[in-house]
């Protein structure tokens, strides 16, 4: 069954109008969702809309209210809200074009597919698509749907177009207070060179299908097992485990980076450390690494004396 468009209207480029339909580019069925269930009866918990001092109310008795003070609202009906006149309800006018790299990633919100409504609209649709592709530009405009006006970006996507809603500037949280404790000091050249080489070796084309949602898959297995057994599953509690190789708070960054380039980890060549005794601090990694060198130096002195 074909999906239903969530918006029908037209793209406007100067005096050119292109009838289009917009479809959601993502689907929710891929995620695991849960209902809240009453433990004793096994029945789903329902949510009633109630008014204090009155009790449950019918849907037709509910209208929208904008709060202007404590327990003070401006009341609006659905008809009044729908009557707000906006050209962007039916027309997406492309008012500006920018380089694809000009829009910071944090402004992007949700993607939608855009297609022409019929064969007559396709010729103009393809012209806009190909022009955007060849100029490597993104078209900007505003679009009203689902009770909100969105800032949107339009770009080529295969034979069609991809519309992405964007956050407005006042919706983006500033980083001034969040990043204030991070130093602007530049990294050391030798460390940076090794890190860049590691990035280069691990670089490649993006293939979304190579990444799987492991949590969702684990939940599916859990649900299948629970459905098959019908019993409460015994879950073993796991303690917090340090990442592999993190045996000390002392970190040799250069050694770790070089080891990564070799395809291993900092702990690959070390025997498994025994748990530290209670009350005794673990020995720093730097001292542990120095032991083999010290033993070699002692043996050399003995041979020289002999």
Ordered by start, the domain boundaries in the chain are 7-26+92-171, 187-199+251-265
Strands 137-145, 96-99: pairing kind? antiparallel
Does position 289 have pLDDT exceeding 70, yes or no?
no
**CA pair distance 25, 110, nearest whole angstrom:** 8
**CA pair distance 100, 138, nearest whole angstrom:** 6
- 89 vs 160, more confident: 160
Predicted TM-score (pTM) of the model is 0.68
User: For the domain with range 7-26+92-171, which CATH number is right: 2.160.20.10, 3.10.20.30, 2.60.40.1250, 2.40.290.10?
Assistant: 2.40.290.10
Tens digit of each residue's pLDDT (9 = 90 or more) over 8-25: 999 999 899 999 999 999
Q: What's the mean pLDDT when you consider all of the chain? A: 81
What burial letters (b/e) apply to 88-107, b meaning 16+ CB within 10 Å? beebbbbeebeeeeebeeeb
Tens digit of each residue's pLDDT (9 = 90 or more) over 219-262: 888 888 888 887 776 666 666 555 555 554 445 877 887 788 78
> Which of 140, 41, 149, 134 has its CA nearest to residue 89?
149
Helix (H) or strand (E) holding 111: strand 108-116
Helix (H) or strand (E) holding 229: helix 214-229
Q: In what order do the strands lie in the sheet with 137-145?
A: 91-93, 7-13, 16-24, 108-116, 160-166, 148-157, 137-145, 96-99
Tens digit of each residue's pLDDT (9 = 90 or more) over 27-67: 876 678 888 999 889 899 988 899 988 999 988 888 899 89
């Amino acid at each position: 069954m074909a999906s239903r468009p969530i918006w029908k209207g037209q793209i406007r480029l100067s005096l050119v109008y292109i009838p289009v339909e917009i479809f959601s580019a993502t689907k929710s069925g891929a995620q695991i969702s849960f209902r809240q269930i009453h433990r004793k009866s096994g029945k789903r918990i329902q949510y009633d809309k109630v008014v204090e001092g009155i009790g449950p109310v019918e849907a037709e008795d509910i209208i929208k209210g904008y709060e202007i003070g404590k327990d003070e609202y401006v009341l609006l009906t659905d008809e009044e809200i729908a009557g707000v006149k906006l050209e962007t309800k039916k027309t997406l006018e492309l008012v500006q074009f920018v380089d694809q790299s000009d829009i910071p990633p944090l402004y992007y919100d949700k993607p939608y597919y855009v297609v022409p409504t019929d064969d007559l609209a396709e010729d103009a649709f393809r012209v806009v698509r190909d022009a955007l592709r060849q100029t490597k530009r993104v078209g900007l405009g505003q679009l009203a749907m689902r009770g909100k006006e969105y800032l949107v970006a339009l770009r080529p996507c295969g034979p069609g177009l991809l519309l992405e809603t964007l956050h407005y500037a006042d919706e983006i949280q500033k980083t001034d207070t969040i990043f204030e404790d991070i130093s602007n000091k530049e990294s050391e050249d030798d460390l940076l060179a090794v890190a860049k080489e590691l990035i280069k070796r691990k670089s490649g084309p993006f293939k979304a299908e190579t990444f799987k949602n492991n949590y969702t898959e684990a939940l599916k297995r859990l649900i299948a097992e629970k459905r098959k057994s019908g019993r409460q599953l015994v879950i073993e509690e796991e303690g917090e485990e340090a990442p592999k190789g993190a045996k000390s708070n002392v970190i040799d960054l250069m050694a770790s980076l070089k080891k990564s380039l070799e395809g291993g980890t900092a702990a690959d060549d070390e025997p498994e450390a025994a748990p530290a005794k209670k009350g005794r601090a673990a020995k720093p990694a730097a001292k542990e690494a120095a032991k083999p060198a010290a033993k070699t130096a002692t043996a050399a002195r003995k041979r020289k004396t002999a």
